[in-house]
Structure 1
Amino acid sequence: MALHEELTAAQRCLDDLARSVDRLAQQVGAGLEIRRVRSDTEHLKESLALLRDAAPRQAPAPLVEMVPVPEQPYDQGLWTDVDDEGLGASGRRAP
């Protein structure tokens, strides 16, 4: 997986974690423990943002030049010195 995809997947996981922490806070209340978990989640988000900024940027893929294929049949003279691939040489028999 490419670095950008890994960072995006980590961001999605952190977003899910933040939503889960919010649901827990509603059930447990706003005690010291939940504030610490929420703070740790925010630190992870900040750390991931720093990592994303420090990650090398991917160079765009080089453009591939399109090669036109002619519609007319190829010159049969191009194939005089080759064997039929998979069929063996013409005029010879298999052992």
Structure 2
Amino acid sequence: MSVHDDLTTVQRCLDDLYRSVGRLEKQLGSGGLEMRRVLVDADHLRESVALLREAVTTPPAPARPDLVSIPDTPYDPSLWIDSDDEGLGARDRRAP
């Protein structure tokens, strides 16, 4: 059996459980602590299976690209002639 088939089977059983709990709620009423707890637990199971289904159907994150090596040789100083010193402002002006 595949994971998808197993999840479908679990969902079907969970739907049956939810219907049975609904019938019990009609017979016993929803005011008791025990009944409220069963209802909350059934809701948690339903949410958990939905999250599990989503996690299984979500494609895995793409693999990290290969690392790019950066040479240790200095950059050409002409690349920086028209730029300002970062955070210091322009060369011919004063900082406030």
TM-score bucket (shorter structure): 0.5 to 0.7
Summarize the alignment of residues 66-85 of structure 1 with structure 2, pairs less than 5 Å apart: none
TM-score where L is the length of structure 2: 0.56
Give the Cα–Cα distance (whole angstroms) in 2 for the partners of residues 56 and 20 of structure 1.
29
In structure 2, give the amino acid aligned to 1:44: L
Give the Cα–Cα distance (whole angstroms) in 2 for the partners of residues 47 and 56 of structure 1.
14
Q: Which of 12-21 and 23-32 deviates more?
A: 23-32
- Is the aligned partner of 1:22 residue 2:50? no
Give the Cα–Cα distance (whole angstroms) in 2 for the partners of residues 46 and 17 of structure 1.
14
Q: Which residue of 2 aligns with 1:52?
A: 53
Deviations 1:14-39 (A, max 9, x none): 00000000000111111211111010
Query: Matched residue pairs, number?
Result: 58
- Distance apart, 1:56 and its partner CA: 4.7
Structure 1 runs of 4+ aligned residues shifted over 2 Å read: none
Give the Cα–Cα distance (whole angstroms) in 2 for the partners of residues 17 and 38 of structure 1.
10
Q: Which residue of 2 aligns with 1:8?
A: 8
Structure 1 stretches of 5 or more lacking a match?
Answer: 59-95
Structure 2 stretches of 5 or more lacking a match?
Answer: 60-96
**Could you tell me the percent identity over the aligned residues?**
59
Cα RMSD after superposing both structures: 1.6
